[in-house]
Structure 1
Amino acid sequence: MKQENASVLIIYTGGTIGMIENAETGALENFNFEQLQKHVPELKKLDFKIDSCQFNPPRDSSDMEPEAWADLCRIIYENYRKYDGFVILHGTDTMAYTASALSFMLENLNKPVILTGSQLPIGVLRTDGKENLMTSLEIAAAKRRGKPLVPEVCVFFENHLMRGNRTTKINAENFNAFRSYNYPALAAAGIHIKYEPSLIHHCTNGRPLTPHLSMDTNVMILKLFPGIQENVVAATLAIPGLKGVVLETYGSGNAPRSQWLINQLIAANERGIVIVNVTQCSAGTVEMDRYETGKQLLDAGILSGYDSTTESAVTKLMFLLGHGLPPDEVRQMMNISIAGEITIN
């Protein structure tokens, strides 16, 4: 698919994909993406314009905090009219968090924002970085009848294009590092890139891109486990300034029937803390009315996270709380799919 008139901006944040090995020390070092064409000569075969910019200094993905997400939003917003798509090169460890956050922060997005990275540096012989980069660029430039094929925030990794707010990192070593368990891939790359148009999210309201830069980080994840102690839960829910909790429960949204646990959750809910129930399972959805152990949470005012990933639930809470909304409005919005992040039956 030729895209002679297309243009794509590469945004390098940091991470393994942008590193080369120092010949003398063997250490991995970030390289300047102005030299990208030297390391990836295949870029010359792409028949569309490619520009690049980078974070200075580059950030390891472990250091990608909400202010870095805001920086990405600013870069995309400032360059939105100049480019048909954007490719963000990002470390893999927190890529799913960044992709989820951007899907909420970039309201009315109508162009591709593709996050990708690699498990091996792009200068290494067996790197997965070149293919991930090349295919991400093709997807970011792809149009049909003058309109972008995939106008949403996505993650591309190991031949699969996935909705960003549906992804999670599942492997620290294999090239196939990401999964979207609860939503099908938007495209698969083989000899050709096969898109699934019916699965792709389109913003149809015609409004201009609106970046939202404020994220409230007064949230936390509370993972239940057999033997969890009351003093641990009580201390967690009593954290000063806490506004939101992602509660990772068992199975389809179940929790122990310990009365102290229910009392702690009810008290936190009454203090205005928004508590969202997501499953610890890789796949599946929360159904709190299915078993008594889940119904007790529903009765305690705990929200269903449906089939949300933990990464998506956390960043969505940050996003909604960042708007200064009162708890009741945050609860209402958590039950609405903003950017295709949950499936509500």
Structure 2
Amino acid sequence: MKKILLIQTGGTIAMNAKGAGVELDPDSWSKVLYDEIPELSEIAEITTLPLFFEDSSDLNASHWIKLSGCIEDKYDTFDGFVILHGTDTMAYSASALSFGLQNLGKPVIFTGSQLPMSTIRSDARRNLVNAIELATMDFKEVGICFNDALYRGNRATKMSIGDFDAFGSPNFSPLADIGIQIETRVSEQFGSGKLKNRAKYSDEVFVLTAHPNLNPDLLNGLNLDKIQAVILRAFGSGNFCVKGDKSLLPFLDKCRDAGVIVAIVSQADFDSVDLTQYTAGRAALKHGAISGNDLTLEAALTKLMFLLAHYDSKTDIEVLFQKSIVGEL
């Protein structure tokens, strides 16, 4: 029987159903886990580890580093890892770990729930049983298991607040569909050899969402000395205002002159940015921007955070950003 480490980080799955938003203490959640789902022991030999208890909106790079370090420390002891995590930032954490844990040869599966585990209609039971079973299989990457599907972690995004089908992978098929049988579609390994924990992330990235009537003067207050990269969430395939006094092109020029990377992703979930298709995209290229292609916002942000923490050359970072490292593109 395979050995699985179940890491608790908090989130809805760790809350007490009798008090909305009230987290269970570490001892209580382990008891609830086995009281509610005793059959887990039939799937694998499970060890539980309450690493920290946080609402996922409070998580940041320090928590990603702690998670990566935990997996590195326990890597030789366990066959797979399941991380219980709040849904709000799960895709950010999964993306970050996909870049930080290099040469990963074992499954690292994130899961959580929309309702607390002890709620009668909770989705926690199904998600957790599925995640643990997937963690015993031959996946060699970071994934998100939710509502009978396994998604590549750096391809997933949260798409619903109120549905059990909370996550989607708009531009990449699920790694597995879970029905009566588990139907796997993709099995890849990114890199070989010994696991390398390179979890380190810069916080010098700013995300800017384009919208109609955005006043560029509001951007003058940004201290570009403290920013190494800007992610511009554009319309469609990479469009934003380029005419008149609302044009963002002068801001792109300021970024270029300050040595700040500008990467363009789309506000649309499906398909890819193409900066050669329309006038705005072509202007963006001339003014020094680069394309995020079909990256999710979560993957684009964590990838830039990772690259900035490991490379000094702006050119190297721009080249690597536009290449697939762990299947994110």
Shorter-normalised TM range: over 0.9
User: What secondary structure is seen at the aligned counterpart in 2 of 1:216?
Assistant: coil
User: For residues 59 and 324 of structure 1, what CA distance do their matches in structure 2 show?
Assistant: 31
Query: For residue 97 of structure 1, what is the amino acid of its counterpart?
Result: Y
Which residue is equivalent to 1:243? 228
1:28 paired residue among 15, 22, 25 = 22
TM score, norm. by length of structure 1: 0.90
- 1:183 maps to 2:168: no
Q: Conserved in 2, the CA contact under 8 Å of 1:105 and 1:212?
A: yes
- 1:101 maps to 2:96: yes
Runs (4+) of structure 1 exceeding 6 A deviation are none
The alpha carbon displacement at 1:172 in A equals: 0.9
Which residue is equivalent to 2:198? 212
TM score, norm. by length of structure 2: 0.95
Q: Unmatched 5+ residue regions in structure 2?
A: none
Which residue is equivalent to 1:264? 251
User: For residues 142 and 82 of structure 2, what CA distance do their matches in structure 1 show?
Assistant: 10
User: For residues 268 and 87 of structure 1, what CA distance do their matches in structure 2 show?
Assistant: 40
Which residue is equivalent to 1:160? 149
2:125 paired residue among 127, 130, 133 = 130
Which residue is equivalent to 2:12? 16
User: What secondary structure is seen at the aligned counterpart in 2 of 1:321?
Assistant: helix
User: What secondary structure is seen at the aligned counterpart in 1 of 2:160?
Assistant: coil
User: For residues 82 and 269 of structure 1, what CA distance do their matches in structure 2 show?
Assistant: 47
Deviations 1:302-324 (A, max 9, x none): 01000000111000010011114
- 1:174 maps to 2:163: yes
Q: Conserved in 1, the CA contact under 8 Å of 2:17 and 2:117?
A: no
- 1:39 maps to 2:36: yes
The alpha carbon displacement at 1:116 in A equals: 0.4
User: For residues 55 and 156 of structure 2, what CA distance do their matches in structure 1 show?
Assistant: 19
The alpha carbon displacement at 1:327 in A equals: 1.3
Which residue is equivalent to 2:278? 291
User: What secondary structure is seen at the aligned counterpart in 2 of 1:118?
Assistant: coil
Percent identity over the alignment is 37
User: What secondary structure is seen at the aligned counterpart in 2 of 1:126?
Assistant: coil
Which residue is equivalent to 2:64? 69
Q: How many residues align?
A: 324
* RMSD, aligned CA: 1.5
- 1:229 maps to 2:215: yes
Which residue is equivalent to 1:145? none
User: For residues 180 and 92 of structure 1, what CA distance do their matches in structure 2 show?
Assistant: 15
The alpha carbon displacement at 1:240 in A equals: 4.0
Q: Conserved in 2, the CA contact under 8 Å of 1:21 and 1:29?
A: no
User: What secondary structure is seen at the aligned counterpart in 1 of 2:76?
Assistant: coil
Q: Conserved in 1, the CA contact under 8 Å of 2:99 and 2:199?
A: no
